[in-house]
Chains A and B, each alone.
Chain A
Amino acid sequence: MTDRRANPPEKIRIEGDRKTAIETGRNRLMVAGALFSAAFLVIGIRVVDVSIFSSDAEPRYSRSISETEKYTGRADIVDRNGVLMATSLNTASLYANPRLVLDPEQSAIKLSGALPDIDVKAIERKLRSDRGFVWLRRHLTPRQQYAVNRLGIPALNFQREARRMYPLGPLASHVLGFTDIDNKGLAGIERYFDKELRSRQENLSLSVDVRVQHVLEHELSIAMKKFSAIGAAGLVMDVETGEIVGMASLPGFDPNQPGAIDKELRFNRTTQGVYEMGSTFKIFTTAMAFDAGTATMRSGYDATDPIRVARFTIRDYHAKKRWLSVPEIFMYSSNIGTVKMALDVGIKGHRKFLTQLGMLKPVRVELSETGSPLSPNRWREINSMTISFGHGLAVSPLHLVAGVSAIVNGGIYRSPTLIRRETGEMVVGKRVISEETSLNMRRLMRLVVENGTGRNASAPGYLVGGKTGTAEKVSGRGYKKKALISSFVAAFPMHKPRYVVLAMLDEAKGTKETFGYATGGWVAAPVVGAVVRRIAPVLGLRPIKDENAVREALSVEISEKSGRGRRVAAH
């Protein structure tokens, strides 16, 4: 060992065959090395490329979701206080690609295990079809989705879809309307604002207050049942802004089940239905006469004899058979007196006045379901006479409420709306009567509730004033005696009206408590009273404690023909 270390290594020289063998080995090694380094170079370049320049090639999730981004596709609808009325929820829908289904029969049977209520034969037929896409079931619950996933059938897939939900159920169904399975608006607000609801992000605020809406629907449905009516309609409108706070049409429907809604249920009685309103129209006739100056609170007309025109006879329902002052004509709802009042104004003036109140055109509101009023083609004296007490001109309840709002709010007509106005927003309108006429009309309407046909509508503390209306329904060419439209339109509080309330019952029948009467004063007035008592606190109106002073201020002096006055409606 030591020997070897001491000696320097000897140079070995290899020659001959061995030398050539080593040379070839070396060359091969060189080639292999070059190949490897070339490969590594390529890999290195690719690594640099992938890690530094690859941002175009491969999408990265470096984007965060924006604040307002929503995937539901349709904006929510809320009431005036922000209560959710309609929303879209994401659900999973099951679809299949039949070309990828291996065994349709087996798959269908398996599916029926996960979704017990499906039709196996129909599903099998769908799976056998030669298409690339079939819906099997829309809007599964999370539990059903899980069950289907567990089956592990490869051709089935889920599609995230938004489904329209109405958490309040049938409440305000005629206002909201509904959508079909593809979220297309088919009725109500959903239809009118279909495009806008699809494109906007923020909620749509309605003028409706769900609490008021509930009270209205509840009280109307009670009355409907009690008097076996076939339908009912109700409205609450803000007289200052024209906002509709409550709009009820009964019977209603559940918008969550669009399949079960037939055409009759969809009919909106408040806007689509046009009715001859009866005596409530005397509000307009009297206001017109006051404004034209042909009648005053002290003047009067002889209502002793019925009026005969052509083949008609106009009688009084509560006939007094004597001279009546204007307040008495209004209070006792005298047809004869009202006709004479209208004739004094004249046909032209009558027509112009009703046009100003929007009675001859479809009412402008954010619903596509609006009915056109039925008015006479040629306005003759007889038309003017019957229209003065609400026959021969059919309008929707919304027409009536909008008109009465204008009469009581100081004389300014504002078109009704279902969309919430900003607080403090002044709404422009057009003047139809003077403020003095408006005040006198309010006193007369108060008189009806104090002493007249509308006593059932009183609500202590809230000073309700209104007018009853009862009309026979038109059938064919005549009138049906037993089929009545009974209504009551009111405003409150009468010294400074804030809201107009209407209740209308379709074909109400009298009961024992109403002594068989089904007139507006017996069936609709109590509804208005109950509604006012319940909604006034909700709407932030305080009851008037010292009611008598205000009542005194609103009282009406009823003059007798002899000229002596007697003051009524003080207490």
Chain B
Amino acid sequence: MRRSTLLWSVLCIAVVIGLFVVKHRVQDLEDRLHALNAEILSDRDATQVLEAEWSYLNQPARLEALSRKLLGMEPPTAEQTLTLDEFRLQTAPAEQEGTAIADILPMKKPVAKAAPITSQKIPEGKPDTDDWLKPILAKMKKEQ
């Protein structure tokens, strides 16, 4: 008789404590959710502001003025535009003759200027520079 009373009262107390703890945790979680919601809202506001700022800083007029002033850039002429294939054709004879790139550097300036790009952009076969970009692009697409 006494034992069962003890058992029941212990159980009772345990359940009460349990209920209290669970209830408290739910409340905590709800508070957190509320805080997170508020944070999401303010983050969204901030993103919006940043996007507007990004667009503002990327005003074509501003970019043009900056690249003219700081980088000395000008609109490209037709002769300055080259496809990769045309570029290969131009550099191919020099490579076939077996001359090192360093030899032709001072003589053919345009080739020399573009030379570093060859080593980066034309490894054998297809360049795998795109691989690391793929997940990012996929993500961007999804977000859109």
Contact = CB atoms under 8 A, between A and B. Distances in A.
A260 interface: no
B53 interface: yes
A62 B30 contact: yes
Nearest to A547: B78
B61 A83 contact: no
B45 A87 contact: no
Interface in B46-82: 48-49, 51-56, 58-61, 64, 75-78, 81
A85 B55 contact: yes
A88 B49 CA distance: 9
A65 B41 contact: yes
B25 interface: no
A218 B78 contact: no
A321 B54 CA distance: 60
A84 B33 contact: no
Nearest to A203: B144
A40 to B, nearest CB: 15
A281 interface: no
B40 A84 contact: no
A167 B52 contact: yes
B58 A83 contact: yes
A82 B144 CA distance: 10
Max chain A C-beta neighbours (<10 A), residue from B37, B48, B77: B48
Given A83-B55, A167-B52, A210-B60, A533 B33 contact: no
A218 B34 CA distance: 49
Given A61-B30, A65-B41, A84 B55 contact: yes
Interface in A394-442: none
Contacts of B88: none
Contacts of B23: 51
A542 B41 contact: no
A65 B37 contact: yes
A171 B81 contact: no
Contacts of A70: 44
B83 interface: yes
Given A84-B55, A89-B45, A89-B52, A171 B61 contact: yes
B55 A168 contact: yes
A169 interface: yes
Interface string B102-128: 000000000000000000000000000
Contacts of A462: 78
Max chain A C-beta neighbours (<10 A), residue from B40, B52, B58, B77: B52
A169 B61 CA distance: 10
A214 interface: yes
Nearest to B60: A214
Contacts of A461: 77-78, 81
Contacts of B75: 533-534, 537
A211 B60 contact: yes
A544 B81 CA distance: 10
A168 B58 CA distance: 8
Nearest to B81: A543
B107 to A, nearest CB: 23
A161 B138 CA distance: 34
Max chain B C-beta neighbours (<10 A), residue from A70, A89, A168, A218: A168
Contacts of A543: 78, 81
A4 interface: no
B37 A61 contact: yes
A171 B61 CA distance: 9
A93 B118 CA distance: 57
A65 to B, nearest CB: 5
B78 A72 contact: no
Contacts of B48: 72, 87-90
A71 B41 CA distance: 8
Contact of B52 (A51, A87, A459, A545): A87
A215 B44 CA distance: 33
A165 interface: yes
A210 B62 CA distance: 13
A38 B53 CA distance: 66
A460 B30 contact: no
Nearest to A85: B55
A545 B49 CA distance: 45
A64 interface: yes
Nearest to A530: B75
Contacts of A214: 59-61, 64
A286 to B, nearest CB: 29
A368 to B, nearest CB: 25
B34 A61 contact: yes
Interface in B2-43: 23, 30, 33-34, 36-37, 40-41
A534 B60 CA distance: 13
Interface string A187-225: 000000000000000000000001101110010000000
A218 B58 contact: no
B54 to A, nearest CB: 7
A60 interface: yes
Contacts of A218: 61, 64
Across the A-B interface, the 9 shortest Cβ-Cβ residue pairs: A461-B78, A214-B60, A543-B78, A167-B55, A167-B56, A84-B55, A61-B34, A167-B52, A534-B75
8 contacts: A61-B34, A61-B37, A84-B55, A89-B52, A168-B56, A218-B64, A462-B78, A534-B75
Interface of A: 51, 60-62, 64-65, 70-72, 82-85, 87-90, 165, 167-169, 171, 210-211, 213-215, 218, 459-462, 533-534, 537, 542-545
Interface of B: 23, 30, 33-34, 36-37, 40-41, 44-45, 48-49, 51-56, 58-61, 64, 75-78, 81, 83, 86, 144
Given A62-B33, A214-B59, A543-B81, 20 more contacts: A51-B23, A60-B30, A65-B40, A70-B44, A71-B44, A84-B54, A89-B45, A89-B49, A90-B45, A90-B48, A167-B56, A168-B59, A169-B56, A171-B60, A213-B60, A214-B61, A214-B64, A460-B77, A461-B77, A545-B86
